[in-house]
Each structure stands twice: as C-alpha cells, then as structure tokens.
Amino acid sequence: MIKLPSSIYNSTKLVFIVMISLVLVFILNNVWQFISHIDELSFSKDSSLVTSDFSYTIDRDNSLDIKTLIKNKESKALFIPSLANDIPYELGHQSYWVKININNNTANIQSVVLHADNSRLAFFDVYKVNAILESTTQIAQQKPTPEQETLLDVFPHVAFDLLEKSTVQVIAHIKSNGPPNIPLILYSKENFDKRTDYVQMTFGIFIGIMLLMAAYNFVLFFATKDKVYLVYIGYLLSAFIVIAGVTGYGYLIFSKQIQYIIHEYSLFLDYFMIFFLLLFSLYFLRYDQIKGKFYRVGLTSCLLLILVAFYSLTLDQIAQTKLFFSIQPIFILYALFIIFRRLSKDFAWARFYFISWLPFLAGAAIQPLVLLNYVDSTFITRNAFLFAVMIEITFMAFALAERMRRNEQDRIHDISYHDFTKLPRKSMLENAMNEMKNSGENDFCVLIIKPEHIEQISLYIDDKANAALFKRLSRRLSSLFIHNDAIVELSSNHEKICFLENNCLAIIVNHEKNQQDLPILIKSIQQLISETFQIDDLKLPLSAVIGVANHPEHGSANYLLINHALLAVNDAQLVYGRWAYYQSEKSDHTSYLLKLATDLKAAIEHNTLAIYHQPQIDLKTLRVCSSECLIRWDHHREGFISPDIFIPLAEDLGLINQLTLWVIKRSLAQHQQILVNNNHMVSINISGKDIAHEHFFTNALSIIEESGIAAEKIILELTESASISHNQQSLELIQKLGDLGFTISIDDFGTGYSSMAQISHLPFQELKVDRQFVENVNDDHKRKTIAEATVKMAKGLGLEVVAEGINSQEDEDTLRSFGCDIGQGYYYAKPMPIDDYLDWLASQNNGRTQKRIDLDGEFIPADKI
C-alpha cells in the first residue's frame, strides 16, 4: 500500500471537507427557499387579487350563537378589528368568533380557501353572511372522499367562490382542543392545493427519516448490544409521536382513533420524549459505565419525570400545560450540565451531540411560543420543532457514528496499550517486527529490560505505584532513544518502548541502522536505570537485567523471539554484566520443565502424588500433638522429584492453587484415619499465591466441610507472608479463616521476606522458626542468639512457637529452655507415608514419643488471637 505524505493527505482532506460543505450549503439554501415559498402562497395584505380584514370577539362562556351575532346590533359591536395574526388566542375554555370581510378585486370569479392552521380543533364552523337579509349560510364541503376527509383533519379548511368585484363577509366560530393559537389564512384554491402538497412532502421526508433512523439503530443495537441505540430509538419514536400530535400528520399514517388518543395525551407523551433525551445523554456520554452520583441523579430524574407524567393525567389541560413548561427547563438544564461536564474533560469527540442541542433548544422554545400565540405564526415557526428535531437527529446520528468510531479507537487502544502504564503492549511490538520483515529488514534483535528484584519491590507497592515506576522508566529511556534511529518505532506516536505483562520493557534494535555496538547501548540503558527512583517516600536504586534475542538466529516467529529474549533475562541475572544473549542449548531445560509441568497436572488429576506426615511434638509433654503434611512425587519416569523443583514450577505455571486444593483434600482424608485412635491436629501448607486466588477461600472451605473435620483441628501454614502484607483482601481472608477456628501459622520465619515487622500486624497464631536456625543450635553462638531472641519475641506477641529441624537431644533441650512450644525434626521421625505414620503412632507410649517419657503434663495449644 502506498502512503501519501501527510501534507498531501491533509490538503486532500481539506479540499474534500470544503466540497462537502459547499454541497450542504447549496442543499440547505434550496430547502430554505422552498420552505419560505410556502408562506408566499397565501393572499398577502397588499394582494391585488383578494384582500381581507379581520375582527374578532371572545365567547368566554360559550353563550353566543350566529343568529344573535347577526341580528343583535349590540352584538355586532362586540367585534374588535385586528390583523389575522394579532387575534389574542389564549389557553382556556372560551371559543372565538372571527369576522372576515373578503374583497375580490378582480373581474373574475375567485375560488378561495379559508384555512385554520390547527389540526386539534374542537370545531370550525364558517358562515357566509347575507347583510341585506340579515341571515347566514353555513359553508360546508360536499361529502368528502376518505382522502379529502383526512386532509380536512390535517388541514381544517372551507372553500367557497367570490364573485367578480364583490365583497363577502364570513364569520368563523372556532375553538381548539389543544394549543390555543388558530391562524386563519386565505388562499386561492390552486395555491392551497400546492401548500398541502408541499407540507405533506415535508411530513413525508420527516417520517421517512425518523423510520429509517429507527430501523438502522435497531440493527446497530442487535449488532453491538449497546443500550444507547435502544434509548435513541425510544427518543425517535417519542419525538415522532409528539410531533404527529402537534402537526396533525398522524392522520396521514394512523387511524383517527389513534390520532385522537395522541391528541388527548400529547403532553403526557412530551414527558417521555424528555425522559428518553435525558437517558440518551447518560448513556451516550458513558455515565452508565462510571455509575457515579451524576448517573444516579440522572436515573432518579428520569423516574421522577415518569411519575410527574402520570400525575399530570389527573389535571386539566391548562394545569397540565403549566406544569410541563414549568419543570421541562429543569431537566433540560441538567442534561446540558452533564454534557458540558463531559466536554470539559475527555469527551471533546462528543461535539456533534452538543451541536444537536442547539436546534432542539431553538425549536423547543419557538414552537410553544407560536402555539401559545406569543410569536407570529409562519410555516417555519409553526413547524419549528419538527425542523429542529430533523436537524437534531441528524447531528445525533453523526454523534453516534463518532462515538462508535471513538469506541473502536478505544478498543484498539485497549488492545494496543497496557491499562496501568499506558505503554504499548506486546501486540504492537509484534506488529513492528512484522513490518520490518515485510520490508525486508531482517537483521534486528529484541531487547528486554527488567528492573532487578522488581518482583520483590512489587510486593511492597500497589499497582498505581508500580505503573508510575514503569512510566518514569519509560520516559527516561525514551529520552535516551529519541534521536536513535536504530530503536524501532512501535506506533505512529513515535513510541519505542513496549511493556510486557511480567514487569519487563522491550525494544527492537535495527542492527542495520545501529551505529554503536550493542554492549554500549545496553550499558547506557543500565546506567540510566541505575539512577535513584523514588516511589512515595521510598528511594530505590534500581539496576537492570537485559536479555537479547537476534532475528532470525534465535527465532523467526515473533513469539519465539520474545520468549527467547525473556529466557535470556533469566540467564542475565547470573552473569557479571547483567545482560545475556539467548542460548539455545538452555531451551532444552525449558522444554524439560514444560513437560514436567504437564506430568504434574496429570499427577494431580490422577491422584498419583503422595502425602507424607512428619510428627510435631509438644516439648512440655512429649506428646505427639500434630503432623505436618508434606507432598511427595515419585515420577513414573524420572523417579523421586524434590518439592523444591516441582512446587516453584507449579507456582510459575499457575498450577499451585490446584495442587494446594489437592493437598488439602488428601491430607484431610488421611487425617480422618489418624483421628480414629489419636487426638491431634493436622498442619497443611498454603502459599500467598493461594490466598490471593479468587476462589481459593470458597473451594478450600467446601473441601474442609466435606471432610467433616473441625476447623480447630487444622493448622494452615502460610508461606510468603510478605506477598499478602500489603493486600487488604488477603488480610481479610486470613482473618476470616482465623475467625472460623483455623490456626494460622507463619512458616519458615527468618528466611525470605518474613520479618517480625510482618508478624506484628498480621493475624497469625503460630510462628515456625526455620530449620537453619534450629539445626545444631548449640554449635554456633550467633545462631543460638538469633533462635533465642526469635522465640522470646514471638512469645511476647502471644504466639505459639514451632521449631523445625530438631535433630538431637541437645537441640530439643535448648529450644525448650528458650520457651519453644513444639518441636519437629529427624530426631523424632522423618516424613512417612500414611500407613507408616499410623504404625509409628501406634508404637508410641500413650501418645508420647519414646525419646523421653520422664516429663509430665498435657499439651495446651496457644490461645487464638
């Protein structure tokens, strides 16, 4: 594909916009000329053909009749001269008598039509007055055809002839069931027919646009399941029905009965139009996705509108009108407020929707004023709302299209950019590699940068701080790469750095453009990253480990190249310079581990793993008080595989939770056998990764409940306490386990990331001192001091203390003297399969170990905290 230069593209785009704008201006000008011409069809005040003068009287109690008005001279004085547009129609129950003197100024017979431009008339009676005989004749149409009857409903009118050079006086008795304004307009028969044709054509265009928009958005709703399209359809239909009632075009498409219902409930339907408009604003501007206070207020307002709508049905028409026009501005102002609030932030793309409100507000203001007789009636002003809605829904359609385009951009952005860091994802790295290969540039490498010890650092900071760290790293590296053409751009925004999910950054180096040796570039990167970074109050001197994989030497497929660079990162942690190329011979070990992981999953599913029990001894009574359950794997091909190999493998590949649940289930099943003749507890290991798993709590509880073993008999030994110390959800889960009666123990204290600072604010009841501080404790003064201090600090915190690694009588005596509660180690017994362990228990003296039986007392577990 040939790409145009940006200057040519922008110029072409500008020319296209100008051309489209000119076409639109031309169309709008012609439409305006056409609409304006409709008002010119009537007889004007200065017409040379037919002139007229108007006078009126208001029948407030509806007591006048035509005979009285003709024969009673005092009644004749009731008529007040007025221009046709100045008759003061107003809301109320009164009717109006309008006298019209019509002059034919020509020597020809003129066919004249008197049109009452209000489709909601209670009656429209027109009388021709014979001044000499003081009598009247009611002007009536001949029996109309169904088509003529429909036109009479939409365009109430009477037709009559004017003799040459004559004057005719007619009196019209009129009353509206809806808007009070009833413009009376005189036309020639020919021009009236033209007017009805033009108006019907206008109505037809409007109806067609509304139905087409509704059908199209109905399809979009089913395609996208986005509720905004359904709400938009609701607005289209409600506006369609409301305008059908106001203009009367509903007679053209509905039955009379339906149109009468629309007339009767026109204000009630107006509420629904505002309801859908407000709801559309909430969904269009995505307030429903935030679900904040503005969304709740908006939904409450919508509900209030419906309630007020139903309440208005109990009021008369005048009270309904006053209520609607009193509260309508409140809801419109709220809709405008939430629009402006969005526009002022990050929704500049919603400009079309804002523009759509301008004609709506103009039409919503002008047409009621015309209908209430505050503004002169013309075809444009009387149908202002219809035209406003036509323009409004056009801009709303543009707004929805722009919204769809922006949604697609956001979707692509979400696919392309990481949520927290806002840096390009791996997919953009792969796209850049594809572009290089397609253009014949095959000599490049993937370089992956990982801050050293980032996993440990991540345990102490939240996602926000972690994202801020990588953003800062990216900015600093971008400043280093900005003028380096060898670093390949990943996006049109000239971004060169990609973020990978495992806390790594990645770049592509084009060897053909690289003017410096790769080790020099790597050293520059490491030097930049080694500068001190600050997260909150913590200053971190970061270093970087870097892995490199060359194309095509280390892989031609993108995913292989990235994976091999990641493997090289692991190797880089073991070498002096902290960077390394991928070494293919080491991939054999990786393949071995993946095969081992597959076998491990199968072993879990087929129950071919084993649980071994190592007894734990109360150092006061020497009774066996519990056993720790330890997992063992005798591989069918590899033989015995150490837990130090397969447990980290399970953690890395996401099998640890499945493995732990298997251990819990198997351990409790075996503990049921132990409890038949022995009263002791069972100790099961779980990790911080288990606690963090979404469904661990419910799955573990389900297994424990099925076993029937009381929580008070179960000790849960938790490793990696640092991984949960800053995780509120994990802390709450541990607290729940403690509240349910489980004893929570912290395992391997003194190693890894465990510390007294951790224990002081975590809900544990037991502490287990690691074997490296217990084994041969008397042989090393420092080790003995650490062990003693640890036990005493733990006892001071009210914790029960378990010492693992007791291998001699001297170890036991020393730990007992420190105040240690429970001992575990080879001095008592090695881990054993369940059958051997049951035999071992049976060989004890009344539950006491045979090592020493000169002590007395009972084992009393520490109080639960």
Q: Please provide the DSSP assignment of 71-139 as one string.
A: H-HHHHTT-EEE-GGG----SSS-EEEEEEEEEE-SSS-EEEEEEE--S-EEEEEEEEEETTTTEEEE-
Name residue 832's beta-bridge partners.
613
Q: What is the mean pLDDT of the chain?
A: 82
CA-nearest of 617, 594, 599 to 609 is 599
pLDDT for 864 equals 31
Q: Which of 132-141, 373-382, 601-610, 664-673 has the lowest mean pLDDT?
A: 132-141
| Residue 812 CB neighbour total at 10 angstroms | 24
502's tokens: 């495992």
CA-nearest of 682, 701, 661, 645 to 834 is 682
Residue 678 carries which side chain, given as an amino acid letter?
Answer: N
The domain made up of 50-195 has a fold known as Immunoglobulin-like (2.60.40)
Instruction: Flag whether pLDDT at 56 surpasses 80.
Output: yes
CA-nearest of 802, 809, 808 to 787 is 802
Distance CA 246, CA 408 (A): 39
Q: Which of 27-36, 170-179, 338-347, 816-825 has the lowest mean pLDDT?
A: 27-36
Tell me the pLDDT band of 722, cut-offs 50, 70 and 90. Answer: very low
Locus of tokens 């201090």: 789
pLDDT for 462 equals 66
CA-nearest of 845, 846, 821 to 616 is 821
Instruction: Flag whether pLDDT at 853 surpasses 90.
Output: no
Write down the pTM of the prediction.
0.55
CA-nearest of 89, 62, 57 to 74 is 57
H, E, C per residue of 33-62: HHHHHHHCCECCCCCCCEEEEEEEEEECCC
Tell me the pLDDT band of 248, cut-offs 50, 70 and 90. Answer: confident
CB 414 within 8 A of CB 464: no
pLDDT for 835 equals 93
What are 812-834's pLDDT values in tens digits?
Answer: 999 999 999 999 999 999 999 99
pLDDT for 865 equals 29
The H or E element spanning position 687 is strand 681-687
Helix/strand/coil for 182: coil
CA-nearest of 553, 446, 453 to 505 is 446
pLDDT for 371 equals 80
Distance CA 607, CA 378 (A): 88
Instruction: Flag whether pLDDT at 859 surpasses 50.
Output: no
CA-nearest of 154, 163, 162 to 198 is 154
Q: Which residues, including other chains, have CB under 8 Å from residue 283's CB and lie 6 or more apart?
A: 226, 227, 228, 231
- The pLDDT > 90 percentage for the chain reads 23
What are 613-664's pLDDT values in tens digits?
Answer: 999 999 998 999 999 999 999 988 878 888 888 888 888 777 888 999 999 9
Give the DSSP letter of residue 694. T
What are 358-400's pLDDT values in tens digits?
Answer: 888 888 888 788 888 888 888 888 888 888 888 888 888 888 8
> When comparing pLDDT for 289 and 458, which is higher?
289
Angle at 613 between CA 608 and CA 616, to 5 degrees: 165
805's tokens: 């690694």
54's tokens: 């108007």
498's tokens: 């990609």
pLDDT for 753 equals 41
Complete DSSP assignment for 745-810? EEEEETSTT--HHHHTTS--SEEEE-GGGTTTGGG-HHHHHHHHHHHHHHHHTT-EEEEE---SHH
CB 96 within 8 A of CB 124: no
- The pLDDT > 70 percentage for the chain reads 86
CB 115 within 8 A of CB 185: yes
| Residue 654 CB neighbour total at 10 angstroms | 11
pLDDT for 858 equals 39
Instruction: Flag whether pLDDT at 851 surpasses 70.
Output: no
Residue 143: exposed, middle, or buried by beta-carbon count in 10 A (0-12, 13-18, 19+)? exposed
Give the C-alpha distances (Å, rounded to integers) separating 194 from 41, 52, 590: 8, 21, 86
pLDDT for 534 equals 59
Locus of tokens 């469904």: 695
Give the C-alpha distances (Å, rounded to integers) separating 790 from 679, 755, 770, 785, 800: 29, 10, 11, 8, 12
The number of residues in the chain equals: 865
Instruction: Flag whether pLDDT at 325 surpasses 80.
Output: yes
Distance CA 561, CA 550 (A): 7
CA-nearest of 126, 130, 129 to 138 is 126
Helices (H) and strands (E) in the chain, counts: 31, 26
Average pLDDT over residues 8-37: 68
Residue 177: exposed, middle, or buried by beta-carbon count in 10 A (0-12, 13-18, 19+)? middle
Q: Which of 130-139, 463-472, 599-608 has the lowest mean pLDDT?
A: 130-139
Instruction: Flag whether pLDDT at 860 surpasses 50.
Output: no
> When comparing pLDDT for 540 and 429, which is higher?
429
pLDDT for 404 equals 79
Average pLDDT over residues 470-481: 85
Instruction: Flag whether pLDDT at 409 surpasses 60.
Output: yes
pLDDT for 629 equals 95
pLDDT for 802 equals 93
Tell me the pLDDT band of 681, cut-offs 50, 70 and 90. Answer: very high
Angle at 768 between CA 832 and CA 819, to 5 degrees: 110
65's tokens: 């009749």
Pick the CATH number of 426-582 from 1.10.357.10, 2.60.40.1180, 3.30.460.10, 3.30.70.270: 3.30.70.270
Instruction: Flag whether pLDDT at 181 surpasses 80.
Output: yes
pLDDT for 144 equals 66
Give the C-alpha distances (Å, rounded to integers) separating 623 from 421, 829, 847: 56, 13, 6
Instruction: Flag whether pLDDT at 600 surpasses 70.
Output: yes
Instruction: Flag whether pLDDT at 540 surpasses 70.
Output: no
Distance CA 133, CA 441 (A): 106
Distance CA 196, CA 20 (A): 32
pLDDT for 855 equals 41
CATH classification code of 610-842: 3.20.20.450
pLDDT for 3 equals 43
pLDDT for 752 equals 42
